[in-house]
A = this chain, B = another copy of it.
């Protein structure tokens, strides 16, 4: 029976606030048998790609508000990944199947509840897309923008964290719908990308703006119909001042507020009343009944190159902790992915 190395990214201990690289340990000494224990109805997978997402850092705290459980100190952290089935005790999966879903930050993982995995059907697109545009992030952009905001042609759309995994898609879905789209990001390189690659009508670097309210008034003299919220805090406060009557805010994330001991206060909520705003939070996992509908829409867009999807790919599990934390300093350009193995 073949036993192989199984490098892992271990959470050392619960973290308060934003984790540091030293809170994670790359453990190189673990090994794993490439065979499921007898009687298991799980699957053993070889991890190929891991998705770096801000909320994973929340799960390193003992008390956190996510719908997901906190990670366990001493064990590998986990997240979304693309993987290949090595051994299966479940009738839906067989050796060689490509899957995506929740997996460990390690080379091999035994997934004990494989019903939550998605089998990958289309392999003529980059496999890493399944932890991005063809997975949770794509569905997040689709559900949050199309289903919550019900956009109409000609409406004004603002996207924060616009070059990120979800934001870049929201902007492009908005353009395909005939909306006017402005995005914001935290580096000039990202701003260029928004305008030149993703086709946003305008984009700005929020770090260059003394006053976000003033910037929004410049970019949206008539106000904002739809705000796709990834950021929270001061950005939301400025957006509230600039929403139009009957505006919609899809609350997808509040990255500026994660890992703060106390969230920033948002002061302009009374605009919700006067402007009749609709604000809706969502967890995309509730809405995967719409996944086939979404795939039907997005696969042709990818194949016909009507949509552009940019990834920032880190090589090797050893690069994963830095790649994850880089999300908070805005280092990544596009969706942050780590390659654990190419096949």
Contacts and interface: CB of A to CB of B under 8 A. Distances in A.
Contacts of A232: 269-270
Interface string A253-294: 110011000111111111111111111111100100000000
B270 A267 contact: no
A282 B274 contact: no
Contact of A270 (B65, B274, B283): B65
A278 B276 contact: no
B286 A281 contact: no
B280 A279 contact: yes
A67 B246 CA distance: 12
Given A264-B265, A265-B264, A265-B265, A270 B282 contact: no
**How many monomers of this protein are in the complex?**
2
A319 interface: no
Specify which of A262, A265, A270 lies most central, judged by the most chain B CB atoms within 10 Å of its CB: A270
A266 B268 CA distance: 9
Specify which of A252, A265, A278 lies most central, judged by the most chain B CB atoms within 10 Å of its CB: A265
Contacts of A274: 65-67, 281, 283
A283 B270 CA distance: 12
A67 B273 CA distance: 10
A280 B278 contact: yes
A52 interface: no
A281 B278 CA distance: 6
Given A276-B281, A276-B282, A276-B286, A264 B267 contact: yes
Contact of A273 (B266, B271, B281): B281
Contacts of A267: 262-266
A262 B237 CA distance: 12
Contacts of A269: 232, 236, 251, 254, 257, 263, 266
A279 B282 CA distance: 12
Contacts of A258: 270
Interface of A: 65-67, 232, 236, 245, 251-254, 257-258, 262-283, 286
Given A264-B267, A266-B269, A276-B280, 18 more contacts: A67-B245, A67-B274, A257-B269, A263-B269, A263-B270, A265-B266, A265-B267, A266-B266, A271-B281, A272-B279, A272-B281, A273-B283, A275-B281, A277-B280, A277-B281, A278-B278, A278-B280, A279-B279
